Chain A
Amino acid sequence: MSSSRHIPFFLWRHLNKLRWIVLSIVFAMLVLLPFLHVYQTYRAAHAYDLLSPSERQLYDVMEALSAPFTDDPTEDLDAVKGNTWSGTFWGLKLSDPLAALGQAAAGHTLYWPFLLTAFIPIAVTAVFGRIFCGWLCPATFLYELNTNFAAWLSWAGLKIGDRHFDKRLKYAVLGLGLVLSAVSGSVMVAAVYPPAIIGREIYYAIALGGFGAGTVFFVGTLLFDLLVARRGFCRYLCPGGALYSLIGRYRVVRIRRIVENCNDCAKCNAVCEFDLDPLRDGFGQECNNCTACIAVCPTDAMTFTLRPTDHPAQGPGHLGRRYRDEQEAEHEPLANGNGVA
């Protein structure tokens, strides 16, 4: 049986590295775009001779970075604007589904030109699940670094938060945010949604000369993750994560455990940022296909599958001791009856 083991495609276990690269690129773009914008304004004002030395340095660096791609920075660099909350890419406008829903709630009407900008993200989520959370969200980049930081702290002997709450809390937060948006007539969810906060706070810090109130909120969520619950905001409170979970409930691309390869080591459960239960085939709607469990699995027991629901529970892994004990308990009487032993 072990000779015909199904081994998942070898690249799957490297996807986690690709994910980190993507997260880093998204975050780097959020830092680069405000700098490019400032550079554009210097260009537009023909202000080079009036700049201070540090501003001139910014100008020179941005000119060097953009010169290979454009002859006319003041116009061409307008091609990419915005952040993950809502952005413009060469005329294509994309928005977070939560932005569309929050705006519809605040305006009490459906404004289709804007709602359509969320169509592509919604379609991608319907297929790949909560993939934004794991692969694109600029807050995830910081939150996962925060998790690593917490791990260092606990190695150093400091106590870090490890509480568990009900994951359904975030659906209540989503509902409450939409109700508040509808009552107040402004898009309140934007104020408590980390990726939206990070996108604009980076812009404020670079182009407008200082962080705003959102940074205080975000640092609060980092401390919550560190001191109360690991990755707590994403797991229990994030309204956008709640919406993505709902949209991706019947996602087609899922992670599945290959029970024949599994040895019940539970590393997948330990590494899962979202407190899911890959060891017992419990992924559910909140799995964001981050592939950390695939990367960590020592026996190649995690792979992708295409089906709209999770694989039913498969019991203990066939390489594990529990499965062996169960098998022996089953075969013992047989063996005795045959008199082989």
Chain B
Amino acid sequence: MERRNFLKALAASAAAALVPEAARSARNQPSLRYLRPPGALPEEAFLSRCINCGQCGEACPNRCIKYFGFENGLNSIDTPYIIPREKGCILCMKCGDVCPTGAIQPVERTAEAILDGVKMGRARVDESLCLSFQGKTCGVCYRACPLPDVAIYVGRLEQPHVTDECVGCGLCERSCIQMPQAIRVIPSYG
């Protein structure tokens, strides 16, 4: 009986891995928060374009691009991702230049082009954790931001406010001195 249940579970997970609908719902579970490289297509199109060649990681001068194993489902094996708390993207835009399939679209390295073409996510401040909102003037995230006063601005006591212009590079999350981090990038896979 036990073995039968085990086999059932095995078959179910295999089916979930193979059937795209099930895989898609599994992928959207919030347990794993990762970013795709800057300029990446929406998740589904990205997966159908990416051939797992690894050139984006090889071009990345910041070595922030890593590659999935099995942890994000079979479809995501060997596809690139960024964990912003470990290392943010410095928006050098080299990965888009080197990508042969356009899974990561080439974006020129200017503020306008980046604001226009990059949407990895959007940072969100947790005011209950943020030091500046506790009266301890900090402002580190603001100073780490490559688009200061555009994507993020600070008010009284260096309290950070993220705007809709934020491209989600994750440098603020990387630099946050609070533990756990008070600012996080909420990925947009669309």
Interface positions of A (Cβ within 8 A of B): 33-34, 37-38, 40-41, 44-45, 74, 78, 81-83, 85-88, 93, 95, 99, 102-103, 106-108, 111, 113-114, 117, 180, 183-188, 190-191, 196, 199-200, 203-204, 207-208, 212-214
| Top 8 closest pairs, chain A to chain B, by CB | A86-B53, A44-B61, A107-B48, A186-B75, A200-B54, A186-B47, A190-B52, A82-B55
Q: What are 7 pairs between A and B in contact, CB < 8 Å?
A: A38-B63, A44-B61, A108-B48, A180-B18, A183-B20, A186-B47, A186-B48
Bits for B66-98, please: 1 = Cβ < 8 Å to A, else 0.
110110001111110000000000000010001
Across the interface, do B51 and A190 meet the contact criterion of CB distance under 8 Å? Answer: yes
Q: How far, in Å, is B186 (CB) from chain A's closest CB?
A: 24
Q: Which of A74, A86, A93, A180 has the most CB of B within 10 A?
A: A86
Q: Could you tell me if A185 and B44 are in contact, using CB atoms closer than 8 angstroms?
A: yes
Pairwise interchain contact A85-B51, C-beta atoms closer than 8 A? yes
**Which residues of B are found within 8 Å of A212, using beta-carbon distances?**
67, 69, 78
Contact across chains for B63 and A41 when beta carbons are under 8 A apart: yes
B100 touches A199 (CB 8 A): no
In the complex, the chain B residue whose C-beta lies closest to that of A104 is B48
- B187 contacts A by Cβ under 8 Å: no
Q: Are A86 and B50 interface neighbours, CB within 8 A?
A: no
- Judge whether B162 is part of the interface by a CB distance below 8 angstroms: no
Which residues in B have some Cβ–Cβ distance to A below 8 Å? 18, 20, 23, 44-45, 47-55, 57-63, 66-67, 69-70, 74-79, 94, 98, 100-102
* In the complex, chain A residues whose CB is within 8 Å of the CB of B74: 184, 186, 188
Q: B155 CB to closest chain A CB, in angstroms?
A: 33
A186 adjacent to B100 (CB under 8 Å)? no
Neighbouring B residues of A106 by C-beta, 8 Å: 47-49
**Residues of chain A with a CB closer than 8 A to B51's CB:** 85-86, 95, 99, 102-103, 187, 190
Known: A208-B66, A213-B69. A86 touches B48 (CB 8 A): no
Within the complex, what minimum Cβ distance (angstroms) separates A202 from chain B? Answer: 10
Q: Which of B47, B55, B57 contacts A185 (CB 8 A)?
A: B47
How long is the Cα–Cα vector from A99 to B47 in the complex, in angstroms? 13
Known: A180-B18, A183-B20; 9 extra A-B contacts, CB below 8 A, are A44-B62, A81-B55, A85-B52, A102-B51, A111-B49, A111-B101, A185-B20, A200-B52, A200-B67
The one of A40, A44, A102, A214 that contacts B78, using a Cβ cutoff of 8 Å: A214
B49 x A81 contact (CB < 8 A): no
Contact A81 B62 (CB under 8 A): no
Judging by beta carbons under 8 Å apart, are B63 and A207 in contact?
Answer: yes
Query: Which among B53, B57, B60 has the greatest number of chain A C-beta atoms within 10 A?
Result: B53
- A residues within 8 A CB of B54? 82-83, 199-200, 203
Contact B50 A208 (CB under 8 A): no
How many angstroms between the C-alpha atoms of A78 and B66 in the bound complex?
18
Q: A95-B100, A108-B48, A200-B52 are in contact. Are A186 and B66 (CB under 8 A)?
A: no
Report the bound CA distance from A203 to B55 in whole Å: 10
Instruction: List the A residue with the shortest CB-CB distance to B17.
Output: A184
Is B18 a contact of A187 with CB atoms below 8 Å?
Answer: no
The reply to whether A200 and B53 contact each other, CB–CB distance below 8 Å, is: yes
Contact A88 B100 (CB under 8 A): yes
Q: How far is the CB of A295 from chain B (nearest CB, A)?
A: 33
Q: Across the two chains, which residue of chain B brings its CB closest to A189?
A: B51
Q: Are A204 and B67 in contact (CB under 8 A)?
A: yes
Q: Taking the nearest CB of chain B, how far is it from the CB of A92, in angstroms?
A: 11
The smallest C-beta distance from B83 to any residue of chain A, in angstroms, reads 12
Note all chain B residues with C-beta closer than 8 A to A117: 100
Min C-beta distance of B66 to chain A, whole Å: 6
Which one of B61, B67, B94 has the highest number of Cβ atoms from chain A below 10 Å of its Cβ?
B61
A85, B51: Cα distance in complex, Å: 9
List chain A residues, Cβ under 8 A from B49: 103, 106-107, 111, 114
Chain A residues within 8 Å of B94, by CB: 78
Assess whether B53 is in contact with A185, with CB atoms less than 8 Å apart. Answer: no
In the assembled complex, the Cα of A186 lies from the Cα of B79 at a distance in Å of 10
The answer for the CA separation of A85 and B50 in the assembled complex, in Å, is 12
Q: Is the CB of A186 within 8 A of B50?
A: yes
